[in-house]
Amino acid sequence: MKILITGGAGFIGSNFIRYMLGSYPGYQIINLDKLTYAGDLKNCEDFADNPNYEFVEGDIADSKLMDELAQKTDAIINFAAETHVDNSIKDPTEFLKTNVIGTQILLDSAKKYDHSKFIQISTDEVYGDIHEGMFTEKSPLKPSSPYSASKAASDLLCLSYFRTYKTPIIISRCSNNYGPYQYPEKLVPFFIKKLLAGEKVPVYGDGSNVRDWLHVRDHCRAVDMIFHNGMIGEVYNIGANEEHSNLEITKKMLKTLGLKEDKIEFVTDRLGHDIRYAIDASKIKNELNWEPEVEFDVGFEGVVEWYKERFK
């Protein structure tokens, strides 16, 4: 099996490649990454010399390069995306180029070279927010930010290619990930880096916005199961049912670092800030026998310690 993994120098992509190389020593992996500010080859240093691994610098919106790589591979797993909501609010342009046009070009290459699978890595943010209950895979898409709108558009493109061309797509929609190798613009590494520098951390609004938190290793396991056993044309939610407010996460971080809550600074809320994300992951649990393995308290404390060492 030869797999093209896009966005493999980023947070989730690099963790997934590490997981796959360790789990399937016979697989060959090409890692394509544009190496924007959030992509870093240091995330891949520990497996860079693996004989079954190859890195290619490039853009998924480059149709010539995508065709060249698609000819060499059997399947595509698309992690490549612009993901930072605040950046999408300031300027949506790159989000549309990468997340929508880039996905379309990848789909065309997969179709042209008859790939066996195309896995689109999406997000629970495409559903928008929900005050009570949980979103299922059948819930309507109501994205709130330019970022989530671009991901919803790419999901719909994938579903249209399945319907029109029979392209063998599967979509995964995951909740908030935490874990090692995340670029420090996202809450956990961003806050840890500031706290270690003796600075206060900015919490949006009153910090009551709720997210479901999943360790990146459990996300990797889920994508593995979807890739090998998922049903073509289907969508799978991936969540841990670990709902915590941003304020709770911040206080937990402070406690782990032995700091007081006076390090919290409440700031003006994000435009269009989603109140609560909650997804029902019973489909992947029942159909593919997936369950999260990393207990939240243990996993979170371990991740805080990992960043503490990294930001010394």
Active site residues per annotation: 124-125, 147
Q: Token digits for 300?
A: 């979170």
Q: In this structure, what DSSP letter does residue 279 have?
A: B
Backbone angles phi, psi at 202, to 5 degrees: -85, 115
Rounded to 10°, the helix 187-196/246-257 angle is 40
Q: In this structure, what DSSP letter does residue 135 have?
A: B
Cα–Cα dist 158/229, whole Å: 18
Check if the beta carbon of residue 273 is closer than 8 Å to that of residue 129: no
Helices (H), 166-214: 187-196
- Which residues contact residue 6 at a Cβ distance below 8 angstroms, ignoring those fewer than 6 apart? 13, 32, 33, 60, 76, 77, 78, 79, 80, 106
Check if the beta carbon of residue 280 is closer than 8 Å to that of residue 235: no
Long-range contacts, 21-25 (Cβ 8 Å, 24+):
21/47, 21/50, 21/52, 21/53, 23/224, 25/52
Q: Token digits for 218?
A: 């459990």
Instruction: Name which of 30, 29, 33, 58 is nearest 43 in CA terms.
Output: 33
What's the CA angle centered on 37, arms 246 and 227, to 5 degrees? 75
Q: Token digits for 96?
A: 């549309």
